[in-house]
Structure 1
Amino acid sequence: MTETEWQELRRLLPVPAWLQGRGGRPEGYCHRVMLDAVRYVVDNGIKWANLPMEFPPFKRVHAFARRWQVTGLLAELHDRLHDRLRDRVRAKEGRSPDPSAAIVDSQSVRAAANIPRSTSGWDGGKKVGGRKRHVVVDCLGLVLAVLVTAASVQDRQAAVPLLTRLRERYFSIRLIWADSAYAGRLVDWTAEILRLTLEIVKRSDTTTGFVVLPRRWVGERTLSWLVRSRRLVRDIETLPEMHEAMVLWSMTMLMNARLAGRRRDAFLTRPPAPAPCRL
């Protein structure tokens, strides 16, 4: 991270209990160094064990990332890191922190050999074997909810828990745009159970070649943003929950760079020397 990015992110991080006199053992490594290490893994797609020696031991870094994912510090609660960053980006763009509309879409990714068969499958339409990530984004393309399933799971099936999760966290949303894969009984179920309008944006039957469809392109652009993080080009996470966490880490990097006025594709391929800082 640059100094500007760190200052944007630092104010959103929780204060450790031991710094507030509430007990606990002091952490051995600065949050900035640990976050840089996690971002390096996500951005470059390397194994945890292959972290450069400039960073802390990989087991400590992995435990740090895993703890944030398990405890929900990264995403589960509304006032946590990812959501705070998204609220600041929306405010910077002149929008309300509470979105009123969203776009849902999915993307199938090939799985590595270590992925259990119980959580992977075959997507017959895309001819991809592995997993599928389902995302709901706002009108700026920022992730509101993410769900990772086997690639064999239909979009309509995954939309039920995904949209339920979305409804529980964002009461302000009233309208969701989707492609024809979400058409059918899901439209009625969404209206009756979740009190949401699911609008299907269809491609014209007379259209040939590539066409940018209204609203749908926002979700597709977000999926293209995600694969710029090499860790998300191919699914190598044993647990689907860790894959979801990697999606949020990738979006955190993008939003942090946007707030700092830095292009997302300007990340270094080699890490700089860790800068000393306080937690």
Structure 2
Amino acid sequence: MTERRVYPSDLKDDQWELIEPLLLEWRAAQAEGGEPTTDLREVVNAILYVARTGIAWRYLPHDLPPHTTVYGYFQAWETDGTAEEIHDTLRVQLRKKKGRRILPTAAVIDAQSVKASPNAPDATQGWDGGKKVKGRKRHIATDALGLLLVLIITAAGVQDTNGGRLVADELAAKLPSVTKAWVDAGYKAKMIAGRCASTTCRASPTGSPTRCAVQ
């Protein structure tokens, strides 16, 4: 069999070595019957190809695994938390490499409205009057390095503050080590901080982000 050409989105050897143990452990837990034949590295390469190019699954090149197979793995990893486990493991490794604590203590909360695909159901979309965008809104929290901690998707019409509450709830449940967060002037900081059991908030000088400190 002729070896396929390399795509720019393909994993490098050292990158694959970081996540291979997690996926092999996942496969062992799923094993039923015969020997698996699907190359997990190629599945990840196919997922990265879709993520980088934005194509529909069915347009995957023929030298990658079948799109139905790739999507099946993608859906399984998203559903059972494997994808999130891989992400969080890589974040921990990078924080350690940068000399940071494994668990972050500070976060930055922000939101961005983006135009949705024409194929997206109308029920999942909304209108952001401020940004003049019809689509969806990404509500995120990152650590001080800019590494993702929480991601929540809503219709674009959801106010930043309301989305920020959802992010704060997720942060409190997933990463209770986070004791402070910064938000910009588009948020009502006290309303977000109020999602936690005990909080103090104070506004920073004009033009600077607001700092919400969770006690």
- TM-score bin (small chain): 0.7 to 0.9
Tell me the alpha carbon deviations over residues 171-209 of structure 1, each in whole angstroms, 9 at most, x when there is no partner: 11100000112125415514xx343555655653xxxxx
Aligned equivalents of 2:99 and 2:189: distance in 1?
A: 35
Overall identity of the aligned pairs, in %: 34
When the two structures are aligned, how many residues end up with a matched partner?
201
- 2:198 pairs, out of 178, 185, 195, with 195
3-state SS of paired residue (2:113): strand
1:7 aligns with 2:17: yes
TM, length-normalised to structure 1: 0.66
Task: Indicate how the Cα distance of structure 1 residues 21 and 177 shifts in structure 2: closer, same or farther if over 3 A, else same.
Answer: closer
The runs of 4+ residues in structure 1 deviating greater than 2 Å are 11-14, 20-28, 193-204, 213-216
Aligned equivalents of 1:157 and 1:104: distance in 2?
A: 12
Moved more, 65-74 or 2-11: 2-11
Q: Which has the higher strand share?
A: 2
| Residue in structure 1 matched with residue 178 of structure 2 by the alignment | 173
Task: Indicate how the Cα distance of structure 1 residues 63 and 200 shifts in structure 2: closer, same or farther if over 3 A, else same.
Answer: farther
| Residue in structure 1 matched with residue 65 of structure 2 by the alignment | 56
- 1:32 pairs, out of 41, 47, 58, with 41
On the 8 A contact 1:103/1:215 being kept in 2, the answer is: no
Aligned equivalents of 1:74 and 1:46: distance in 2?
A: 20
On the 8 A contact 2:160/2:186 being kept in 1, the answer is: yes
Task: Indicate how the Cα distance of structure 1 residues 199 and 40 shifts in structure 2: closer, same or farther if over 3 A, else same.
Answer: farther
Aligned equivalents of 2:182 and 2:39: distance in 1?
A: 42
Moved more, 154-163 or 56-65: 154-163
Task: Indicate how the Cα distance of structure 1 residues 44 and 200 shifts in structure 2: closer, same or farther if over 3 A, else same.
Answer: farther
Aligned amino acid, residue 136 of structure 2: R
Aligned amino acid, residue 93 of structure 1: K
CA RMSD between the two structures: 2.4
Task: Indicate how the Cα distance of structure 1 residues 114 and 23 shifts in structure 2: closer, same or farther if over 3 A, else same.
Answer: closer
